[in-house]
Chain A
């Protein structure tokens, strides 16, 4: 009698197992369906509420319409009466109806840009725009520090009073504001707000939301210290009417207007339900009046590797955007990201300098995509900063000579494959702060040697290294962040060209945190790094004013120049735009002459964009964030899933 486990038994057991598994799975599925049903019911309820809100609005509009009709009828009657009396029709000077509500100097709002897009013959609504993001988006909640991508996403959801035009950053276009007036001293700004704005849940917008936002963020419980540091310049915010807000500033600091205008307005009715602690800890609490909104409930959004999806805000108060959805897919490693782009899983890819040559010549990758090369005004710059507290770098002639020893043209070509241009100062050439008449220091070893000789550096003992009269050799080290190939190769190139001029250079790569420590301790000879620009008009007080040497300021090189201090101070507090730009030019000239940094490069950006996305052109201000103006012509619509 053999009790062996036969094939028949195996089949029976397997079948039973399969049945059990299927049963379990279907139970789970039912459960999941219920959850989804619950969610749908919630959404339905919300929509019902907003519908009843609409009904009220419609009712009110109907009444207003009737009143208006009556008024028009009366007006016509009066006019006819007048005509009957033979008098000319004149509305008179006193009753001049000013259709142009905008005050002087204020351009039309962003709806004008979107309307212009809609005039294209092939314009169509629909399709998605899918972007790849290289790291997990940590936060979307406004004011709580997150990353850049997070704030770009937020700009589509939460709106500010006004924003700079993407193409011409000197122009401010109204968003939630209708118009504004700035007092002559620049200290009082009065915003007239739009009256027809609603948040995405249908809540009306008025001045109380602006006041709420200010008070909310100034509460020390809110983890928004950085915004509070900016807003410290605001003395008070007051509502002088339901659609009028007055900002009073403490000083005429040149960024004062943008601090007020770029305030992201929170919806009071939505946000007041949360405690500060909930606000701090809920990562996706983003809700506003913008053209898009989060697909899921903002409280449910979690930072993670799942995609973030924005859908069109159906309640949007202005011209709606063309694309149905904006999708942000996360790829934490580069090769899979590129593979996914080849597969057409998303619509645009930023190209890095080290990939430039490969991608440029890769026909299959570029098929169906546009190749864009451009610069943006707040792209930042790279520099080699001198520690001017060291005797050898305290002489201006030495710094100028060193600038002439760095062959920046050649480095831009060889190291960055042409994705960088030579910088002349801290201001980007696309902005107004930059003095276009300034030419970069040429690569001129002969002139540099002459200058060095003037400063007392000569090869006195013939050992191939310069010495000063005290016999000290010209030898310094370049500190740079370890593990970043760009800086490594930049430092190596500089070492080589310095060696030709008989200057000994040591490379000193440091781990980022150690590097920060050496910077704080001012313990380095020279340092190569990059500064990001805060905006189209940037402040250089932090880096070059002598006040920023002490107390952990960012003037790491301890650079001190009274002329520069005076010029920076004058420029920062000049309220008049044009005069200020002239003052910035002065700052630029002094910096160019003094060379506290050897200014190296402005980066150029390279991006591939799917051809079906139209109007996706580079702008001057930000790197591809005007998604609300993109569209896909009808026949080409095909969302990337």
Chain B
């Protein structure tokens, strides 16, 4: 088993490479290529400054490099084994003051010979030169003294040695000219030197130069977006939200679908079977966008029922709330408990009513005698729903959410509509699958044998049929998980929730290379992992399957 898992994990690597490669080139070769966010999008354009900005960002983001190089760099960047880049040398992510201080001390030491030769360097410029020395020394594997000597020479003679110094940087001629021209244009030597210090520092750091001399194990990084945010931060912010949505949605869908599937199979051709089948198919065919907007318009609008919020994950004030509900007294606490109870009652009541109508309705219409207790059940249900509706119309429910309800309740309250919107399409496929497979198994030989032996029907169903019928559901789980992420793209947009789906859409709109590749990587990883999990679940559900 272990070797099987290892093999599968190793196989993931080339698959993921392939996925990102395809996505990379499709996006890069589409009209406009990467970096659309650098342009003004929409219908209005602005002039010269936007162009300069674009040119600068192209270089900063590496969009001026050939596509293959761009992809190679990205691979190197995300891989834990590879070459370090100059930006990692310069910008350590460490916020530890000791580390920073040590770097500053080393820089000051390295820059001392330069300062000696050029006392005019002010404090800021000394710092810049220190960074430049550190960067060049680590890139070219020279000692800091050697670099410092070269730098001194460059600073003494901006037009000669200074310009020559730029040849060290792997840049194309046009960029080089752009860097050098201001120095040559400067009217005084002092201005030229100031310009030189600035440009040298900037070019030396070069931020994205790959240190080919130093292969090794390094920290993988997802890079920065065009807007200069760390992609990893963005993903860490978005991923938990999408996971939360899907972790709530999944078990709910499976639970409901399995129950409906079994029930429909046992009463095959009955009213419940037909009614649930067509109802769920109806749900399945209704688009999420429409459902989301409808849900908001019906359940969140003050003109209709203002039970739930229109969007977001929390109220603005939620951060200041206590986490759990807190109450000023027993009365408030019991009031709250009552609200929760009534909510639960309404939900149960509606479910019971639907079940009763579907299960017994057609028979009763045909004139059959209703079974015992139906009358009482109906009365109970009616009472529940009446209490609930009264409650809703008195508007005591979530609309009046106060700080007392706490952060957690506020979050749950905000999640109701998005989860509802995610959930309703999933029932059809799974319940039909479950029904079909239960039916298959019920008509198989071993069930006939079991029945012939006199095993009671309940045991036949749950001991024998149930487990065997779960297999197809496991199979489709792998297909559904990625589909859920796609679904959450729509839901997240409608309900203004910033999850992975939202991020993926943003990335695609802005054609943000690092963000697109990172979301692709995560989506791919998710898909492949769920496939692996599926195969492992097979082995657990079906003893006949083994990977030894």
Residue ranges of A at the interface with B (Cβ–Cβ < 8 Å):
25-26, 28-29, 32-33, 136, 138-139, 144-146, 215, 219-221, 223, 225-226, 228-230, 275, 277, 280-281, 283, 302-307, 309, 327, 329-333, 335-337, 339-340, 342-345, 364, 380, 481, 484, 486-487, 511-514, 516-517, 529-532, 534, 539, 542-543, 552-554, 641
Which residues of chain B have C-beta atoms less than 8 A from A305's C-beta?
311-313, 496-498, 502
Which residues of chain A have C-beta atoms less than 8 A from B317's C-beta?
641
A229 pairs with B323, CB closer than 8 A = no
- With A280-B228, A332-B502, A343-B301: A229-B45 Cβ-Cβ less than 8 Å: no
- With A32-B323, A531-B45: A339-B297 Cβ-Cβ less than 8 Å: yes
B247: Cβ under 8 A from any A Cβ: no
Give a binary string over B345-386; 1 marks a CB under 8 Å from any A CB, 0 the rest.
000000000000000000000000000000000000000000
Q: Pick out which of these stretches binds chain A: B31-39, B527-535, B539-547.
A: B31-39
Which residues of chain A have C-beta atoms less than 8 A from B33's C-beta?
513
Give a binary string over B219-247; 1 marks a CB under 8 Å from any A CB, 0 the rest.
00000100111100100010000000000
B43 pairs with A530, CB closer than 8 A = yes
Q: Within the complex, which residue of B30, B124, B202, B229 is in contact with A283, where a contact is CB–CB below 8 Å? A: B229
A226 pairs with B32, CB closer than 8 A = no
Give a binary string over B37-48; 1 marks a CB under 8 Å from any A CB, 0 the rest.
001111111111
B181: Cβ under 8 A from any A Cβ: no
A281 pairs with B229, CB closer than 8 A = yes
Scan residues 40-73 of chain B and give those whose CB is less than 8 A from a CB of chain A: 40-53, 55-57, 60
Q: When chains A and B are docked, how far (Å) is the Cα of A215 from the Cα of B197?
A: 13
A487 pairs with B43, CB closer than 8 A = yes
Which residues of chain B have C-beta atoms less than 8 A from A230's C-beta?
49
A516 pairs with B32, CB closer than 8 A = yes
Which residues of chain A have C-beta atoms less than 8 A from B314's C-beta?
306
Which residues of chain B have C-beta atoms less than 8 A from A219's C-beta?
198
Count contacts on B: residues with CB < 8 A to the other chain: 69
- With A29-B322, A226-B50: A514-B496 Cβ-Cβ less than 8 Å: no
B47 pairs with A534, CB closer than 8 A = yes
- With A304-B237, A304-B498, A516-B39: A532-B300 Cβ-Cβ less than 8 Å: no
Q: When chains A and B are docked, how far (Å) is the Cα of A336 from the Cα of B51?
A: 36
Q: Within the complex, which residue of A29, A481, A514, A543 is in contact with B324, where a contact is CB–CB below 8 Å? A: A29
Q: Pick out which of these stretches binds chain A: B136-144, B262-270, B302-310, B432-440.
A: B302-310
A275 pairs with B300, CB closer than 8 A = no
B78: Cβ under 8 A from any A Cβ: no
* CB closest residue in chain A, given B399: A343
- With A516-B39, A534-B46: A303-B229 Cβ-Cβ less than 8 Å: yes
B303 pairs with A342, CB closer than 8 A = yes
B494: Cβ under 8 A from any A Cβ: yes
Q: When chains A and B are docked, how far (Å) is the Cα of A539 from the Cα of B47?
A: 9
Which residues of chain B have C-beta atoms less than 8 A from A345's C-beta?
310
Some 25 contacts from A to B, beta carbons below 8 A apart, are A25-B324, A29-B324, A32-B323, A145-B227, A226-B52, A229-B48, A275-B91, A305-B497, A306-B316, A307-B316, A331-B496, A332-B493, A332-B496, A332-B502, A333-B293, A333-B494, A336-B494, A339-B297, A342-B303, A481-B43, A512-B36, A513-B32, A529-B43, A530-B45, A542-B47
Q: When chains A and B are docked, how far (Å) is the Cα of A305 from the Cα of B55?
A: 30
Give a binary string over B13-26; 1 marks a CB under 8 Å from any A CB, 0 the rest.
00000000000000
A333 pairs with B198, CB closer than 8 A = no
Q: When chains A and B are docked, how far (Å) is the Cα of A517 from the Cα of B30?
A: 12
- With A283-B229, A333-B496, A513-B30: A343-B302 Cβ-Cβ less than 8 Å: yes
Task: Kindly provide the distance from the CB of A365 to the nearest chain B CB, expressed in whole angstroms.
Answer: 9
A554 pairs with B494, CB closer than 8 A = no
Q: Which of B30, B227, B494 has the most CB of A within 10 A?
A: B227
Q: Within the complex, which residue of B296, B316, B407 is in contact with A336, where a contact is CB–CB below 8 Å? A: B296
Which residues of chain A have C-beta atoms less than 8 A from B41's C-beta?
512
B45 pairs with A532, CB closer than 8 A = yes
A514 pairs with B227, CB closer than 8 A = no
B324 pairs with A26, CB closer than 8 A = yes
B76: Cβ under 8 A from any A Cβ: no
Task: Kindly provide the distance from the CB of B422 to the nearest chain A CB, expressed in whole angstroms.
Answer: 16
* CB closest residue in chain A, given B48: A542
Q: When chains A and B are docked, how far (Å) is the Cα of A486 from the Cα of B502?
A: 26
Task: Kindly provide the distance from the CB of A22 to the nearest chain B CB, expressed in whole angstroms.
Answer: 8
Q: Within the complex, which residue of A138, A139, A280, A529 is in contact with B45, where a contact is CB–CB below 8 Å? A: A529
Q: When chains A and B are docked, how far (Å) is the Cα of A32 from the Cα of B301?
A: 33
A145 pairs with B53, CB closer than 8 A = yes
Task: Kindly provide the distance from the CB of A384 to the nearest chain B CB, expressed in whole angstroms.
Answer: 13
Q: When chains A and B are docked, how far (Å) is the Cα of A330 from the Cα of B51?
A: 29
* CB closest residue in chain B, given A221: B202
Which residues of chain A have C-beta atoms less than 8 A from B52's C-beta?
225-226, 228-229
Which residues of chain A have C-beta atoms less than 8 A from B198's C-beta?
219-220
Task: Kindly provide the distance from the CB of A26 to the nearest chain B CB, expressed in whole angstroms.
Answer: 6
Task: Kindly provide the distance from the CB of B90 to the nearest chain A CB, expressed in whole angstroms.
Answer: 8
Scan residues 139-194 of chain B and give those whose CB is less than 8 A from a CB of chain A: none
Q: Which of A221, A539, A554 has the most CB of B within 10 A?
A: A221
B109: Cβ under 8 A from any A Cβ: no
